[in-house]
Amino acid sequence: TPAPPPLVFFSAAKAAARVLTGSISEWALSSPKYALPRPAFLVIASFGGCAAHFLLGMATSEIAFVIGVALSGAAFGMIWPLMVLIVGECFGADHVGANYMFYDGVTSAIGTLILSKFVTQEVYESHIDESHGDVNPYNDGATAGGGTAGDGLTCYGEGCFQLSHFIVAGLSISCVISSVALMFNTRHVYENRSI
């Protein structure tokens, strides 16, 4: 069976961002006109992630959902090549493997556990109302906050994941702040590279 369109858009945007981010950030860093340090692209990716999840939380149409998914894929795709490059430039190549395992392995495991298991699951399950199993998005009884298909396990509506998207958007704002701090704290690494 073919992949659902949102998954295709997420994957295509992620792949394009991974391919283009390194080249564009290198060009912007080497350009005398711009001389942008590489962490500036982390700021861009974090803003993109924030906008994507805010849009996904507010999406009421299919086009808004697809745009949010594609923007989320692009932001996600930008992060990982940037992290490899920034860690190598700031800390050297001697310990790239250990550093990579820290920011990819540890943070991914903790983030997945907290955001996927606890936050998203709790938000989803809080919108399942077993006493009102007749609420369904395909009839007039559907509610904007989400309802169930009657099985006590399924939730329909924007409320099922809306708070989860807003929480991730809030975390993305913290990424913007930490990326700006990283940009200023590592500017000495990049000052000589732009010449």
Work out the burial of residue 27: count CB atoms within 10 Å of its CB; fewer than 13 is exposed, 13-18 middle, 19 or more buried: exposed
What pLDDT band is residue 11 in, cutting at 50, 70 and 90?
very high
Say what the pTM is.
Answer: 0.80
Q: Is the pLDDT of residue 102 over 60?
A: yes
The one-letter amino acid code at 100 reads: Y
The stretch 101-107 carries a mean pLDDT of 80
Instruction: Provide the CATH number for the domain formed by 5-191 in this structure.
Output: 1.20.1250
164 close to 1: Cβ distance less than 8 angstroms: no
The two three-digit tokens of residue 120, written as one number: 């998203």
The two three-digit tokens of residue 100, written as one number: 């990579």
Convert the pLDDT of each residue in 151-189 to its tens digit.
Answer: 667 777 778 888 999 999 999 999 999 999 999 999 888
Indicate the average pLDDT of the chain.
84
| 156 bridge partner residues | 147
Angle of helix 5-30 versus helix 62-91 axis, rounded to 10: 40
Tokens 């961002």, located at residue? 17
Convert the pLDDT of each residue in 19-64 to its tens digit.
Answer: 999 999 999 998 888 889 999 999 999 999 999 999 999 998 889 9
